[in-house]
Structure 1
Amino acid sequence: MSRPLATDYAPYADAYVSKVPGEELLPAFKSLTEEYIAFLASIPAEKIGYAYGTGKWTIVQVLQHVIDTERIFCYRALRFARMDTTPLAGFEEDDYANAARVVVADWPSLVEEFKSVRHASIAFFARLNEEELERRGVASNHPVSVKALGYLILGHAIHHQKVIEQRYF
């Protein structure tokens, strides 16, 4: 299995896809998941509720956003893998963040939720063959392949890890 082509996703999504190392989706899922869980464990407790600026999300809100986005991208991948070509709407991340009930004390359960969602994503993508991974649909007004959605899941999490490392510490 090769990486998705630039024609497999919207141009803006390259900022995420390009962050994923290697050529194989499943090995990337497994190694990056271990790294991400270790990263989450390394965040000092006093930083979980920290936001680096007015109107910016706290780290706990960022993790909730990563989880929500992974669920949405995996749902899109499921729809397209099953040959559902219904165009899917985008989502407004700030609306989701504002509606989510997250508190610093929930950090351990939120980390466990991330692990569960990620393991479900891995199980889903592991069962897809090359034909299913190449299937396409339209999400947020852009064509996207199932394979590209897997890379988007990973690259999106990496993006937010880098933001946390650069702006929260």
Structure 2
Amino acid sequence: MNSRQLNTQEYAPFYSQYIKALGEVDLNEVLETSLKDLITTLENLHEEKLTYRYAEGKWTIKELVQHIIDAERVLSYRALRFSRNDATELPGFDEDWYVTNSNGNERDIKDILQELIHVRNSTILLFKSFKQEILLIIGTASNSDMTVRALGFIIAGHQIHHLRIIKEKYL
């Protein structure tokens, strides 16, 4: 499944930055390679760098990674619900509230990265389990329609977007 197959009706405009960040990629491949890129970038950073804020009110690297994990869980859950033809409209979530309540800065980075690896591997297996027709199922979340496949690309693009921010603002 290639990102260029998506059309803009498959996701809300809010997510377009994540889709555009991908370029032309295969979903399963980008889910695996983007995880490796993030782990390689973060695994040897010192605590001072991991808890650094480049500006007042901005998240630390630990908080950013916890945010990536939380968002991936929410988006994967949406994909699961939609893939099972669950027509229940799903609510949004407040990412700032999640980060504030995540306890990210008090956690060991090795534990955070291990959690990310497990969540991503679960996401990869979930999307590999979907047949082509399942990927095209449409559901509603945050008052916007989206397809199952768009959610997979949003997960990958969201993580790539934040890795880019980490490299530009923190390292």
For this structure pair, what is the TM-score category when the shorter chain's length is used for normalisation? over 0.9
RMSD of equivalent CA atoms? 1.4
Aligned-residue identity in percent: 37
* Equivalent residue, structure 1, for 2:35: 33
Partner of 1:140: 142
Structure 1 unaligned runs (5+)? none
With 52-61 and 20-29 compared, the bigger mean Cα shift is at 20-29
Gaps of 5+ in 2: none
TM-score by length of 1: 0.94
Distance 2:96 2:25 in 1: 32
- Does structure 1 retain, via aligned residues, the 8 Å contact 2:11–2:145? yes
Structure 2: distance between partners of 1:91 and 1:132:
24
- Match for residue 86 of structure 1 among 73, 85, 88: 88
Give the distance between the partners of 1:147 and 1:31, measured in 2 at CA.
Answer: 18
Q: Distance in 2 between matches of 1:96 and 1:89?
A: 14
Match in the other structure for 1:6: 8
- CA-CA distance at 1:152 after TM superposition: 0.5
Shift of 1:11: 1.1
- How far 1:43 moved relative to its partner? 3.5
Match of 1:48 in 2: 50
* Deviation readout 1:78-115 (Å, 9 max, x if unpaired): 00001001111000111101111123551110010000
Select 2:61's aligned residue among 59, 62, 87. Answer: 59
1:48–1:104 contact (8 Å) kept in structure 2: no
Task: Give the AA of the match of 1:33.
Answer: L
C-alpha distance in structure 2 between counterparts of 1:59 and 1:121, whole Å: 22
Name the residue aligned to 1:115.
Answer: 117
Which of 71, 75, 78 matches 1:76? 78
Please list every run of at least 4 consecutive aligned residues from structure 1 whose deviation after the TM superposition is greater than 4 angstroms: none
Asked whether the 8 Å contact 1:32–1:154 carries over to 2, the reply is yes
User: Is contact 1:21–1:28 with CA below 8 Å preserved after alignment?
Assistant: no
